[in-house]
Amino acid sequence: MPATLNELAARLADRMAADADALRIGVQQVAGARVLDCGVKAEGGLDAGLLLARVCLSDLADVSLAAGDVAGVPCPQVQVRTDHPVRACMASQYAGWQVKAGKYFAMGSGPMRARYGKEVLFDHIPGREQAPVAVGVLEGKLPDEAAVNYLCERLGLPASALTLLAARTASQAGTLQVVARSLEMALHKLHELKFDLAQVVSGMGAAPLPPVAKDDLAAIGRTNDAILYGGRVVVWVRAEDDLLAEVGPKVPSSASPDHGAPFRELFERSGGDFYKIDPMLFSPAQISLCNLKSGRVHVFGRVEPEVVRRSFYDV
Protein backbone atom coordinates (compact mmCIF):
# COMPACT_ATOMS: atom_id res chain seq x y z
CA MET A 1 0.00 0.00 0.00
CA PRO A 2 1.46 3.42 -0.95
CA ALA A 3 2.70 5.59 1.90
CA THR A 4 0.45 8.44 2.99
CA LEU A 5 1.53 12.07 2.75
CA ASN A 6 2.14 12.13 6.48
CA GLU A 7 4.23 8.97 6.43
CA LEU A 8 6.39 10.38 3.62
CA ALA A 9 6.94 13.58 5.57
CA ALA A 10 7.61 11.67 8.80
CA ARG A 11 10.41 9.67 7.15
CA LEU A 12 12.08 12.92 6.07
CA ALA A 13 11.59 14.42 9.54
CA ASP A 14 13.27 11.33 11.01
CA ARG A 15 16.30 11.97 8.81
CA MET A 16 16.39 15.60 9.90
CA ALA A 17 16.24 14.66 13.57
CA ALA A 18 19.05 12.14 13.12
CA ASP A 19 21.19 14.80 11.43
CA ALA A 20 20.20 17.66 13.75
CA ASP A 21 23.72 18.82 14.61
CA ALA A 22 24.83 19.13 11.00
CA LEU A 23 21.57 20.92 10.12
CA ARG A 24 21.93 23.26 13.14
CA ILE A 25 18.39 22.45 14.27
CA GLY A 26 16.99 21.59 17.68
CA VAL A 27 14.98 18.50 18.60
CA GLN A 28 12.80 18.47 21.70
CA GLN A 29 9.66 16.98 23.21
CA VAL A 30 6.67 19.21 23.91
CA ALA A 31 3.73 17.56 25.68
CA GLY A 32 4.80 14.23 24.15
CA ALA A 33 5.12 15.48 20.56
CA ARG A 34 8.41 15.70 18.69
CA VAL A 35 9.32 19.28 17.77
CA LEU A 36 12.06 20.24 15.31
CA ASP A 37 13.26 23.82 15.76
CA CYS A 38 14.56 24.80 12.32
CA GLY A 39 14.94 28.52 12.98
CA VAL A 40 13.21 29.86 16.08
CA LYS A 41 15.72 29.43 18.90
CA ALA A 42 17.99 27.18 16.84
CA GLU A 43 20.04 28.76 14.07
CA GLY A 44 19.10 26.44 11.23
CA GLY A 45 20.48 27.18 7.77
CA LEU A 46 20.04 26.62 4.04
CA ASP A 47 20.04 22.83 4.24
CA ALA A 48 17.48 22.94 7.04
CA GLY A 49 15.36 25.24 4.87
CA LEU A 50 15.51 22.94 1.87
CA LEU A 51 14.44 19.97 3.98
CA LEU A 52 11.78 22.00 5.78
CA ALA A 53 10.29 22.95 2.42
CA ARG A 54 10.34 19.30 1.34
CA VAL A 55 8.52 18.30 4.53
CA CYS A 56 5.87 20.93 3.73
CA LEU A 57 5.52 19.22 0.33
CA SER A 58 5.36 15.72 1.87
CA ASP A 59 8.64 14.91 0.08
CA LEU A 60 6.75 14.77 -3.23
CA ALA A 61 8.79 17.59 -4.78
CA ASP A 62 12.41 18.44 -5.37
CA VAL A 63 13.54 21.72 -3.75
CA SER A 64 16.89 23.21 -4.70
CA LEU A 65 18.94 26.39 -4.90
CA ALA A 66 20.37 27.72 -8.15
CA ALA A 67 22.51 30.73 -8.99
CA GLY A 68 20.63 33.83 -10.09
CA ASP A 69 20.42 37.57 -9.73
CA VAL A 70 18.05 40.42 -8.93
CA ALA A 71 18.59 43.51 -11.07
CA GLY A 72 22.23 42.56 -11.46
CA VAL A 73 22.83 41.67 -7.79
CA PRO A 74 23.78 38.02 -7.12
CA CYS A 75 20.80 36.26 -5.53
CA PRO A 76 20.03 32.51 -5.31
CA GLN A 77 16.83 31.16 -6.81
CA VAL A 78 14.65 28.71 -4.88
CA GLN A 79 13.39 26.08 -7.32
CA VAL A 80 10.55 23.60 -6.78
CA ARG A 81 9.70 20.75 -9.17
CA THR A 82 7.03 18.07 -8.83
CA ASP A 83 5.00 15.55 -10.81
CA HIS A 84 2.43 15.53 -7.97
CA PRO A 85 1.56 19.23 -7.76
CA VAL A 86 -1.95 19.07 -6.31
CA ARG A 87 -1.15 16.60 -3.54
CA ALA A 88 2.22 18.16 -2.72
CA CYS A 89 1.24 21.81 -2.90
CA MET A 90 -2.45 22.02 -2.14
CA ALA A 91 -3.09 19.00 0.11
CA SER A 92 0.14 19.55 2.02
CA GLN A 93 2.18 22.74 1.54
CA TYR A 94 -0.62 25.32 1.52
CA ALA A 95 -0.81 27.13 4.87
CA GLY A 96 -4.53 26.59 5.30
CA TRP A 97 -4.86 25.83 9.01
CA GLN A 98 -4.97 28.61 11.59
CA VAL A 99 -3.66 26.92 14.72
CA LYS A 100 -5.17 28.77 17.70
CA ALA A 101 -4.84 27.47 21.24
CA GLY A 102 -4.86 29.72 24.28
CA LYS A 103 -2.29 32.44 23.62
CA TYR A 104 -0.69 30.45 20.82
CA PHE A 105 -1.28 31.26 17.15
CA ALA A 106 0.53 30.15 14.01
CA MET A 107 -0.33 29.30 10.43
CA GLY A 108 -0.13 25.57 9.93
CA SER A 109 0.94 23.75 6.79
CA GLY A 110 2.21 20.31 5.89
CA PRO A 111 0.36 17.00 5.54
CA MET A 112 -1.26 17.14 8.98
CA ARG A 113 -3.88 19.19 7.09
CA ALA A 114 -4.69 16.12 5.00
CA ARG A 115 -5.13 14.01 8.14
CA TYR A 116 -7.42 16.70 9.63
CA GLY A 117 -9.25 17.17 6.32
CA LYS A 118 -11.78 19.74 7.54
CA GLU A 119 -10.78 22.56 5.16
CA VAL A 120 -13.35 23.17 2.41
CA LEU A 121 -10.45 22.91 -0.04
CA PHE A 122 -10.43 19.13 0.45
CA ASP A 123 -13.93 18.95 -1.04
CA HIS A 124 -12.32 19.96 -4.35
CA ILE A 125 -8.97 18.15 -4.35
CA PRO A 126 -7.72 14.66 -3.46
CA GLY A 127 -5.71 14.29 -0.28
CA ARG A 128 -7.80 13.43 2.80
CA GLU A 129 -6.17 10.50 4.54
CA GLN A 130 -6.24 8.43 7.71
CA ALA A 131 -2.52 8.29 8.40
CA PRO A 132 -1.07 6.67 11.55
CA VAL A 133 1.17 9.73 12.11
CA ALA A 134 0.89 13.48 11.47
CA VAL A 135 3.49 16.04 10.46
CA GLY A 136 2.97 19.78 10.45
CA VAL A 137 4.92 22.97 9.91
CA LEU A 138 4.23 26.08 12.00
CA GLU A 139 5.34 29.51 10.85
CA GLY A 140 6.88 31.76 13.49
CA LYS A 141 6.63 30.08 16.89
CA LEU A 142 7.56 26.85 18.61
CA PRO A 143 4.39 25.07 19.74
CA ASP A 144 3.50 25.03 23.42
CA GLU A 145 1.57 22.39 25.34
CA ALA A 146 -1.77 24.01 24.48
CA ALA A 147 -0.95 23.93 20.75
CA VAL A 148 0.08 20.26 20.89
CA ASN A 149 -3.07 19.29 22.80
CA TYR A 150 -5.23 21.26 20.35
CA LEU A 151 -3.69 19.51 17.34
CA CYS A 152 -3.84 16.03 18.85
CA GLU A 153 -7.50 16.46 19.73
CA ARG A 154 -8.40 17.51 16.18
CA LEU A 155 -6.18 14.96 14.50
CA GLY A 156 -7.39 12.11 16.67
CA LEU A 157 -3.85 10.97 17.40
CA PRO A 158 -1.68 10.64 20.50
CA ALA A 159 1.10 13.18 20.92
CA SER A 160 3.67 10.47 20.29
CA ALA A 161 2.41 10.26 16.68
CA LEU A 162 2.82 13.99 16.03
CA THR A 163 5.88 15.76 14.63
CA LEU A 164 5.94 19.55 14.34
CA LEU A 165 8.58 21.69 12.65
CA ALA A 166 8.87 25.43 13.16
CA ALA A 167 10.93 28.38 11.93
CA ARG A 168 10.62 32.13 12.09
CA THR A 169 10.21 33.83 8.74
CA ALA A 170 13.25 35.94 9.70
CA SER A 171 15.60 32.95 9.61
CA GLN A 172 17.47 31.23 6.82
CA ALA A 173 15.26 28.14 6.89
CA GLY A 174 12.04 30.09 7.40
CA THR A 175 12.75 32.49 4.55
CA LEU A 176 13.63 29.64 2.19
CA GLN A 177 10.58 27.51 2.94
CA VAL A 178 8.23 30.45 2.32
CA VAL A 179 9.85 31.32 -1.02
CA ALA A 180 9.53 27.65 -2.00
CA ARG A 181 5.77 28.30 -2.32
CA SER A 182 5.81 29.90 -5.79
CA LEU A 183 4.13 26.90 -7.45
CA GLU A 184 1.68 26.47 -4.58
CA MET A 185 0.59 30.12 -4.90
CA ALA A 186 -0.03 29.66 -8.62
CA LEU A 187 -2.14 26.55 -8.03
CA HIS A 188 -4.08 28.26 -5.25
CA LYS A 189 -4.81 31.20 -7.56
CA LEU A 190 -5.98 28.83 -10.29
CA HIS A 191 -8.26 27.14 -7.77
CA GLU A 192 -9.67 30.51 -6.65
CA LEU A 193 -10.40 31.24 -10.32
CA LYS A 194 -12.44 27.99 -10.46
CA PHE A 195 -9.93 26.19 -12.68
CA ASP A 196 -10.23 22.43 -12.22
CA LEU A 197 -6.93 21.35 -10.67
CA ALA A 198 -7.53 17.81 -11.90
CA GLN A 199 -6.25 19.16 -15.23
CA VAL A 200 -2.84 19.95 -13.69
CA VAL A 201 -0.18 17.33 -14.44
CA SER A 202 3.21 18.72 -13.33
CA GLY A 203 4.67 21.99 -12.14
CA MET A 204 7.85 23.93 -11.53
CA GLY A 205 8.43 27.27 -9.84
CA ALA A 206 11.37 29.53 -9.06
CA ALA A 207 11.73 32.72 -7.03
CA PRO A 208 14.66 34.73 -5.64
CA LEU A 209 15.78 34.02 -2.08
CA PRO A 210 15.77 37.27 -0.08
CA PRO A 211 18.41 38.28 2.45
CA VAL A 212 17.23 37.32 5.94
CA ALA A 213 15.41 40.33 7.37
CA LYS A 214 15.94 41.79 10.84
CA ASP A 215 12.41 40.90 12.02
CA ASP A 216 9.49 38.73 10.96
CA LEU A 217 7.37 41.58 9.57
CA ALA A 218 10.18 42.71 7.26
CA ALA A 219 10.80 39.07 6.33
CA ILE A 220 7.13 38.56 5.43
CA GLY A 221 7.40 41.57 3.13
CA ARG A 222 10.52 40.29 1.38
CA THR A 223 9.30 36.71 0.97
CA ASN A 224 6.00 37.89 -0.49
CA ASP A 225 7.79 40.22 -2.90
CA ALA A 226 10.08 37.40 -3.98
CA ILE A 227 7.08 35.54 -5.40
CA LEU A 228 4.75 38.43 -6.31
CA TYR A 229 7.39 40.27 -8.32
CA GLY A 230 10.12 37.69 -8.94
CA GLY A 231 8.34 34.33 -9.07
CA ARG A 232 8.14 32.38 -12.32
CA VAL A 233 6.03 29.24 -12.62
CA VAL A 234 5.52 26.66 -15.34
CA VAL A 235 2.46 24.40 -15.09
CA TRP A 236 1.82 21.47 -17.42
CA VAL A 237 -1.90 20.90 -17.96
CA ARG A 238 -4.38 19.01 -20.11
CA ALA A 239 -7.10 21.52 -20.88
CA GLU A 240 -8.82 23.45 -23.65
CA ASP A 241 -6.76 26.31 -25.05
CA ASP A 242 -9.77 28.65 -24.98
CA LEU A 243 -10.07 28.07 -21.23
CA LEU A 244 -6.37 28.73 -20.66
CA ALA A 245 -6.57 31.93 -22.71
CA GLU A 246 -9.52 33.06 -20.59
CA VAL A 247 -8.19 32.22 -17.12
CA GLY A 248 -4.50 32.85 -17.73
CA PRO A 249 -4.48 36.68 -17.64
CA LYS A 250 -6.13 36.58 -14.20
CA VAL A 251 -3.43 34.39 -12.63
CA PRO A 252 -0.27 36.54 -12.25
CA SER A 253 0.02 39.15 -9.51
CA SER A 254 -0.13 41.93 -12.14
CA ALA A 255 -3.85 41.19 -12.51
CA SER A 256 -4.44 42.79 -9.09
CA PRO A 257 -4.92 46.57 -8.64
CA ASP A 258 -2.56 46.31 -5.63
CA HIS A 259 0.29 45.20 -7.90
CA GLY A 260 3.35 47.43 -8.15
CA ALA A 261 4.32 48.40 -4.60
CA PRO A 262 6.48 46.30 -2.27
CA PHE A 263 4.39 44.24 0.13
CA ARG A 264 5.60 46.20 3.17
CA GLU A 265 4.20 49.41 1.64
CA LEU A 266 0.87 47.72 0.91
CA PHE A 267 0.71 46.40 4.47
CA GLU A 268 1.35 49.85 5.95
CA ARG A 269 -1.15 51.41 3.54
CA SER A 270 -3.78 48.95 4.77
CA GLY A 271 -3.26 50.11 8.35
CA GLY A 272 -1.60 46.84 9.28
CA ASP A 273 -4.63 44.78 8.26
CA PHE A 274 -3.42 41.93 6.07
CA TYR A 275 -6.97 41.16 4.96
CA LYS A 276 -7.42 44.59 3.37
CA ILE A 277 -4.84 43.68 0.74
CA ASP A 278 -6.44 42.29 -2.42
CA PRO A 279 -6.31 38.47 -2.07
CA MET A 280 -5.91 38.18 -5.85
CA LEU A 281 -2.46 39.76 -5.52
CA PHE A 282 -1.02 36.60 -3.99
CA SER A 283 0.35 34.75 -6.98
CA PRO A 284 3.63 34.59 -8.88
CA ALA A 285 4.75 37.35 -11.21
CA GLN A 286 4.69 35.17 -14.32
CA ILE A 287 3.10 31.87 -15.32
CA SER A 288 3.45 29.63 -18.35
CA LEU A 289 0.67 27.13 -18.98
CA CYS A 290 2.00 24.32 -21.17
CA ASN A 291 -0.91 22.45 -22.69
CA LEU A 292 -0.10 18.76 -23.16
CA LYS A 293 -3.38 18.37 -25.02
CA SER A 294 -2.57 20.80 -27.85
CA GLY A 295 1.16 21.52 -27.56
CA ARG A 296 0.51 25.25 -27.13
CA VAL A 297 2.09 27.41 -24.43
CA HIS A 298 0.25 30.35 -22.85
CA VAL A 299 2.41 32.91 -21.04
CA PHE A 300 1.06 35.61 -18.73
CA GLY A 301 2.52 38.26 -16.43
CA ARG A 302 6.01 39.69 -16.03
CA VAL A 303 8.71 39.89 -13.39
CA GLU A 304 9.51 43.25 -11.78
CA PRO A 305 13.20 43.08 -10.81
CA GLU A 306 13.34 46.70 -9.66
CA VAL A 307 10.53 46.16 -7.16
CA VAL A 308 12.34 43.07 -5.86
CA ARG A 309 15.59 45.04 -5.62
CA ARG A 310 13.89 47.79 -3.58
CA SER A 311 12.36 45.19 -1.27
CA PHE A 312 15.56 43.20 -0.74
CA TYR A 313 18.28 45.82 -0.71
CA ASP A 314 16.89 49.30 0.01
CA VAL A 315 16.99 48.88 3.78
pLDDT score of 1: 64
pLDDT less than 50: residues of the chain: none
Domain map of the chain by residue range?
A: 5-313
pLDDT score of 142: 98
Architecture of domain 5-313 in CATH? 2-Layer Sandwich (3.30)
3-state secondary structure of 209: coil
pTM: 0.97
According to DSSP H, which parts of the chain are helical? Answer: 5-18, 20-23, 46-56, 85, 112-116, 145-155, 172-179, 182-192, 216-230, 241-247, 263-269, 305-313
* Cα separation values, 172 from 45, 168, 211, 241, Å: 5, 9, 8, 40
pLDDT score of 273: 78
